[in-house]
A and B are shown apart, each in its own frame.
Chain A
Amino acid sequence: MVTLDHLSDIRRKVSEAEEQRNHRIHVCVAAGCIAAGSRKLLRAFQEEITSRGLNDSCLVKGVGCIGPCAGSPAVAIEPEGIVYCSVKPEDVPEIMDSLAKQPVARLQMSRDLPFFTRQKKIVLENSGRIDPEQIDDYIAAKGYHALYKVISTMSPAEVISEVIKSGLRGRGGAGYPTGLKWTTVAKTGQQQKYVVCNADEGDPGAFMDRSVLESDPHRVLEGMAIAGYAVGANKGYIYIRAEYPLAYERLRKAIKQAEEYTFLGQSIMGTTYGFHVELRLGAGAYVCGEETALIASIEGGRGTPRPRPPYPAERGLFGKSTLINNVETYANISSIIRNGGDWFASIGTQNSKGTKVFALAGNVKNVGLIEVPMGETLREIIYEIGGGMEGQNKLKAVQTGGPTGGCIPESELDTPVDYESLASLGSIMGSGGMVVIDDSVSIVDIARYFMEFSVSESCGKCVPCRVGTTQMHELHAKINRGEGTKRDLELLEELCEVVKHTSLCGLGQSAPNPVLSTLRFFRSEYEAQLTDHEVLAAEGVAK
């Protein structure tokens, strides 16, 4: 039987080990930094410490994402809180020399920058702080305390009411109230239920979930175990992209560790509550982010969606009642349980509570992973936290919501980021990709790029998405070549409307968004490319 004392012991042990050391060097070992050479860097630090005989006073460890991905690989020195960017193994001796002295200015990124100060970290509270491969590190950061609290002191109904109170909405894109979803699954009288974590983060330009899974995998497992307790499920699946091998590996290790600690398994913490988690590897299909397609894929089939209702809560995985949330949603749960739903509801806006993690990318200075309270404006995010534009070019648009989201122009940057406001601009919150586009980029071409994406990712089941996206892409390409007519533009707009309203799933329904939003805000760019001909001959005819 695990008790609070066990958890406190582990916490004490970890913090003692840390406090013994004067300096703790955190090297980011999330995928981005690894690609930039952080494993070599980690080794260089270790060797340098050993050769200097500083093993007793210096601790070096690999941690999850520190945040400033543009400055990969990133290193943090604790307890001082110094952040270094773009560190090379050659820089190691200099950094070691500087410990307890003046930081190395040429590598330092000030912690006073809005990039750090303007963020509010809930989901990412442990990212860049703990070693994602050490369960003890997670426990030391109050990990699994929420699970303990839930199964030792709360009824399933109390857990759900806390989630309802928090106002948490699904972070996968649609923003469906999480508590409501949990209630529906809890209420179905079925014996066998499943909890599924959607980690099929397919939006190009989005890496929130990857980062959370690589930096703090236990957090997601804990959220799922709590969800399983609340809705009455004893089995969970994490459906993760094959493109994220590191996240998969860390999750696999984390599950194993959690099982050893009885935080997962037949009898969690010695109680009668059992919850198993299995990993399922995706195989490269964007549509599998749609919940019914995801279910089809976990069942080993083609990832094609089916019409809802019945919703997965009624009939989901293997025909059973299934709760599906995405990574970030589960990652919020432990904090909500530990700090209370009211605390969470005090952050954010009227209808969008808490924080949101964004992957800031594109032509912005501070490319990276950020977490901000809901309701911050796009301008604040891009110009303060993001540090403004990279290079001399002006901002033309910011693309939110992934390939089926929309392009928001400069003039709308004061829009607060919440579900409803983004939707009113013809975009979506999506899972949190935010790509800044400068004025060197043709907006018509960007929309064409997204259409190409939708064409190649359409599953082909329903007619409007399968043929409609292809025809939209053709029309769009024709306009982009300067061969489009006014009539073509009208057809494109009407076709967008058709695909939006008649497609079977969210992918098709939102596929026209990039075209519609760019037509709404950048229509003149399209019109400038039209030809004067009334009806232009099809390709090959004009020649």
Chain B
Amino acid sequence: MKKIKLATVWLDGCSGCHMSFLDTDERILGLLEHVEIVYSPLVDIKTFPENVDITLIEGSVSTNEDVVKIKKVRAHTKTLVALGDCAVTGNVPAMRNPFGVEATIDRAYFHLVQHNPLTPSEYLPRLLDKVVPVHDVVKVDFHVPGCPPPADTIYYALTELVRGRMPDIKLMTRFGK
């Protein structure tokens, strides 16, 4: 049987959702019998491949780089899963939204810096005016809220998706869990 191509992408998030994914522990080995991880911060592949079956996205869309990345991911993914509150709601990264980019940079790069405060280099990705959830930029097929979503929930959702079914994760996770 052909293996399902799975990718995981890390945008603006704390990596906690990836950690939770790893918390599926030995079950991941079982999963790998049906699944091939074709792109992920967990593996060493530099470019996002084509024809990916399932992509898990952790993190919100916060920079112009995130926008480019997520659009490419969407274009090459059949089922896009927003994994965790940052991807689903904006969560902590979006807490800067009421204050605006300027105040955020000011705070992070000047106020809270003791030595040599510096404006971030122009080569760094540029912050968007507002941090937004993934589905505000591209179509998302399935949402798994949680901060992070429990490993069991991720595992269940993934096994269902791998079997070509839409999982029902009601009561298995919640915002902030």
- Judged by CB atoms under 8 Å, the answer to whether A and B touch is yes
Residue ranges of A at the interface with B (Cβ–Cβ < 8 Å): 534-535, 537-541, 543
- The answer, among B128, B135, B138, B139, for a CB contact under 8 Å with A540, is B128
For residue B132, CB closer than 8 A to chain A, the reply is yes
Expressed in whole angstroms, the Cα–Cα distance for A541 and B101 within the complex equals 13
Q: Are A537 and B129 in contact (CB under 8 A)?
A: no
Distance between Cα atoms of A534 and B132 in the complex (Å)? 17
Residues of A within 8 A of B61 (CB): 541
| B-side contacts of A537, CB under 8 Å | 67, 132, 136-137
Report B-chain residues with C-beta under 8 Å of the C-beta of A535.
135-139
Q: Which of A534, A538, A543 contacts B136 (CB 8 A)?
A: A538
Distance in angstroms between the alpha carbons of A11 and B138 in the assembled complex: 78
Q: Kindly state the interface size class of chain B when it binds its partner.
A: 10 to 19
CB proximity to A under 8 Å, residues B128-161? 128-130, 132, 135-139
**Please, which residues of chain B bring their CB within 8 A of the CB of A540?**
128-130
A9 to chain B, nearest CB (A): 73
Q: Map CB proximity to A onto B69-90 as digits: 1 under 8 Å, 0 otherwise.
A: 0000000000000000000000
* A-B contacts at CB below 8 angstroms, number: 29
Q: What's the dominant secondary structure at chain A's contact region?
A: loop
Q: Using Cβ atoms and an 8 Å threshold, which residues of chain A touch B130?
A: 538-541
Q: A534 to chain B: closest CB distance in Å? A: 6
Q: Which residues of B contact A541 (CB under 8 A)?
A: 61, 67, 128-130, 132, 136-137
**Is B132's CB under 8 angstroms from A538's CB?**
yes
Question: Are A539 and B129 in contact, with the CB atoms below 8 A?
Answer: yes
Report the bound CA distance from A534 to B137 in whole Å.
9
CA distance A541 to B136 in the complex (A): 9
Q: Which residues of B contact A543 (CB under 8 A)?
A: 129
Nearest opposing residue in chain B for A542, CB measure = B67
Q: In whole angstroms, what is the CA distance A540 to B96 when docked?
A: 14
Interface string of B55-67 (1 = CB under 8 A from A): 0000001000001
Interface centre among A534, A537, A541 (most CB of B within 10 A): A541
A534: chain B residues at CB < 8 Å are 138-139
Chain A residues within an 8 Å CB radius of B136: 535, 537-538, 541
Residues of B contacting A539 in the complex (Cβ-Cβ under 8 angstroms): 129-130
Q: What's the minimum C-beta distance from A78 to chain B, rounded to whole angstroms?
A: 65
A539 to B61 Cα, complex, angstroms: 13
Q: How far is it, in angstroms, between the C-alpha of A535 and the C-alpha of B74 when the chains are bound?
A: 11
A535 vs B138: C-alpha distance when bound (angstroms): 6
**Residues of A with C-beta under 8 A to B132:** 537-538, 541
Q: How far is the CA of A539 from the CA of B130 in the complex (A)?
A: 8
User: CB within 8 Å of A: which of B102-147?
Assistant: 128-130, 132, 135-139
Q: Which residues of A contact B137 (CB under 8 A)?
A: 535, 537-538, 541
In the bound assembly, the distance between CA atoms of A537 and B71 in angstroms comes to 10
Shortest C-beta distance, A531 to chain B (Å), equals: 14
Query: Can you report 20 residue pairs joining A to B where beta carbons are below 8 Å apart?
Result: A534-B138, A534-B139, A535-B136, A535-B137, A535-B138, A535-B139, A537-B67, A537-B136, A537-B137, A538-B132, A538-B137, A539-B129, A539-B130, A540-B128, A541-B61, A541-B128, A541-B129, A541-B130, A541-B132, A543-B129
Instruction: A527 to B129: give the CA distance in the assembly, Å.
Output: 28
Min CB–CB distance B134 → chain A (angstroms): 10
> What is the bound-complex CA distance between A538 and B130, given in angstroms?
8
Among residues of A, the one whose C-beta sits closest to the C-beta of B71 is A537
Q: Across the A-B interface, give the 8 residue pairs with the lowest CB-CB distance, nearest first.
A: A540-B129, A538-B136, A538-B132, A537-B137, A540-B130, A535-B139, A541-B128, A540-B128
| Apart from the given pairs A535-B138, A537-B67, A540-B130, 8 other A-B contacts in the complex at a CB distance below 8 Å | A534-B138, A535-B137, A537-B136, A540-B128, A541-B61, A541-B129, A541-B132, A543-B129
CB of A494 to closest CB in B, whole Å: 16
Q: Which residues of A contact B135 (CB under 8 A)?
A: 535
> In the complex, A342→B132 CA distance in Å?
65
Report A-chain residues with C-beta under 8 Å of the C-beta of B138: 534-535
- Quote the shortest CB–CB distance from B95 to chain A (angstroms): 16
Q: Which of B67, B128, B138, B139 has the most CB of A within 10 A?
A: B128
Residues of A contacting B129 with CB < 8 Å? 539-541, 543
Residue of B nearest to A543 (CB): B129
Cα distance, A535 to B139, chains bound together (Å): 6
Q: How far is the CA of A336 from the CA of B27 in the complex (A)?
A: 84
B135 and chain A: residue at smallest CB distance:
A535
Shortest distance between the CB of A148 and any CB in chain B (Å): 65
Inter-chain CA distance A433–B3, complex, in Å, is 67
In the bound assembly, the distance between CA atoms of A83 and B61 in angstroms comes to 68
| Nearest Cβ on chain A to B132's Cβ, whole angstroms | 5
Measured in the bound complex, the distance between the Cα atoms of B128 and A539 in whole Å is: 9
Give a binary string over B18-58; 1 marks a CB under 8 Å from any A CB, 0 the rest.
Answer: 00000000000000000000000000000000000000000
Inter-chain CA distance A294–B147, complex, in Å, is 46
A202 to chain B, nearest CB (A): 32
Cα of A538 to Cα of B134 in the assembled complex, Å = 10
Contacts of B67 in A (CB 8 A): 537, 541
A229 to B137 CA separation, bound complex (whole angstroms): 65
Taking the nearest CB of chain B, how far is it from the CB of A90, in angstroms? 58
Chain B residue numbers with a CB within 8 Å of A538 are 130, 132, 136-137
Q: How far is it, in angstroms, between the C-alpha of A543 and the C-alpha of B61 when the chains are bound? A: 14
Docked Cα-Cα span, A534 to B70, in Å, equals: 14
User: How near does chain B come to A474, taking the closest CB pair, in angstroms?
Assistant: 13
CB A323 to nearest CB in B, in angstroms, measures: 48
Q: How far is the CA of A535 from the CA of B140 in the complex (A)?
A: 10
Q: Which residue of A lies closest to B62 (CB)?
A: A541
A537 to chain B, nearest CB (A): 5
Smallest Cβ-Cβ distance to B129: which chain A residue: A540
Closest partner residue, chain A, to B61 (CB atom): A541
CA gap between A539 and B67 in the complex, in Å:
13
Q: Which of A534, A539, A540 gathers the greatest number of chain B CB atoms within 10 Å? A: A540
A489 to chain B, nearest CB (A): 16
Taken together as a complex, chains A and B put the C-alpha atoms of A540 and B64 apart, in Å, by: 10
With A and B bound together, what is the CA distance between A129 and B157 in angstroms?
Answer: 78
Q: Which residue of B lies closest to A540 (CB)?
A: B129
Name which residue of chain A comes closest to B136, CB basis: A538
Report Cα–Cα, A538/B132, bound state, in Å: 7
**In the assembled complex, how far is the CB of residue A155 from the closest CB belonging to chain B, in whole angstroms?**
64
Q: Tell me, rounded to whole Å, the shortest Cβ–Cβ distance linking B43 to chain A.
A: 29
CB of A274, distance to nearest CB on chain B (Å): 58
* A487 to B: closest C-beta gap in Å: 9
